[in-house]
Amino acid sequence: MTIDKKPHKEIMNKSVVTKEGKRLGVVKDITFETRTGELIHIVIKDPTPYTSQLGLERSQQGETLIPYNSIIAIGDFLVVSEEDLM
């Protein structure tokens, strides 16, 4: 049985918005726990000024990180719950 890796490719380069419609940036990458495969963060590129105001966690390289568990929908956009970011 093969594992379909299509969802990862579908998420890459999608715009990230809050459920209120505020744009946060674009998905650059996904971080995960190598031992368990648990998805941990979405790495954002081109963060908006609004994103900077949220005080989100940053990677060692200074990239903005959004907790993967804050995602509530994936479609044309990746929609996150702003309440889960804080």
pLDDT tens column, 20-77: 999 999 999 999 888 988 888 999 999 999 998 898 999 999 999 999 999 999 889 9
User: Which SS3 state, helix, strand or coil, does residue 43 take?
Assistant: strand
CA gap 27, 63 in Å, rounded = 11
CA gap 50, 60 in Å, rounded = 21
pTM over 0.85: no
Q: With respect to CATH, is domain 14-77 assigned 2.30.30.240?
A: yes
CA gap 23, 37 in Å, rounded = 28
